[in-house]
Amino acid sequence: MAGQLTLSPAFCRDCAASQPPASAKRCTVCGSPRLISHPELTSLSIAHIDCDAFYASIEKRDDPSLRDRPLIIGGGHRGVVSTACYIARINGVHSAMPMFKALKACPSAVVLPPDMEKYVAVGRQVRALMQAITPLVEPISIDEAFLDLTGTERLHDGAPAQTLLRLALRIESEIGVTVSVGLSHNKFLAKLASDENKPRGFTPIGRAETAAHLDVLPTHKIWGVGKALHRRLLADGIVTIGQLRHYSEANLTKRYGSIGRRLYHFSRGQDDRRVTPTHAAKNVSTETTFNDDVSDLAELERRLWRLCERLSKRLKQKDLAGRTVTLKLKTSTFRGITRSHSLPHPTQLAETLYREGRQLLREPVDGTPFRLLGIGVSQLHPADDADPLDLADPGAAHRKKVEAAIDAVRARLGNDAIGKGRSL
């Protein structure tokens, strides 16, 4: 009938039940007031899921005494904030903030060092639940991913939105962390939406509202617009995403380079990138920021060994080996220094990584105080290609056996059960 009111589909946020298309205030199944309704809710299928304050949420899950306290995960006084719970964020703490500034903003905060092994394990659990509803899961980091649920309605007996609500509830009940979900018709908008109503958010952006939604947002909301580009845009009088639509693709590309094309299309809500299930890792690395500057070569070598053991462990867990070793240093004035060298064969051995890293370390160490040290590998290969027998290095086979024996002891008794003397 002409002029008949079309009511939007709705679901319950707390039990994922479908709701009658009416203006009900509470769920008809569980009584919750947390309902989500949107005109395009049953037709959108590209999602971005982001865990809420992931590291801090895991620590609060494992220690209930932290539940109502501000919590910061990060390095020591000289380090930076990895993440902060929402209580700490209310007090002005944010990721990448220097730790001394974070503690000044929130002096009552509890500070814990990151436990990356635990976080990676939980991240894998979350990803497994994502992959249970669709094979099209594209991880972005340890705690976030894109999902494409196109065509899954019959499989899951419900629209993608309902399936995602069930997934969010399952992650929360089975793993103990909460997630925020962005749902739209492409990846850019889905990621934008997931960040809008944290924590425990569920935000759809439909096709009909795309332009109006983007109009008033600042340009730094566009994925890939960092601080430097944002400053250039502001200097050019471009404050909002909507203002970018006044310029042609050619003009934006001429002014801002290759990212001009992204500015043109994203400002129009256009993003043709597919959700691709796998991204091959290009490098694996680890680094540490010192509590106090270090200039002594022997002390830097000692700390390098610890990093090499950590890097070796990650490579072995990923069944990878690297051929190019890269050393990273940062001075007390934040000047970055990198040195690289390619090996004859890929490696995943801590001893080999250390020998190469130590050679790379010696040239730049001239009494300069350093605040950060890191080491990584690139040109990655499968583990089967790692550390072949080398007739030119008769001691290589022995070092490989020794490291395998150390790994076996640690697997049974823990990382502190055995180690080389230089680690003391």
**Catalytic residue IDs:** 144
Strand, helix or coil for residue 243: helix
- At CA 132, angle to CA 131 and CA 138, rounded to 5? 15
Please provide the size of the chain in residues: 424
Of 256, 272, 220, 262, the closest CA to residue 241 belongs to 220
| Ordered DSSP codes for 248-314 | -HHHHHHHHTTHHHHHHHHTTT-------S-----EEEEEEEEEEEE--HHHHHHHHHHHHHHHHHH
If you ran DSSP here, which 8-state letter would residue 219 be given? Answer: G
Q: Which residue has the tokens 């298309």?
A: 21
Q: What is the largest CA-CA distance in the chain?
A: 87
Are β-strands 71-74 and 110-112 bridged in parallel, bridged antiparallel, or unpaired?
A: parallel
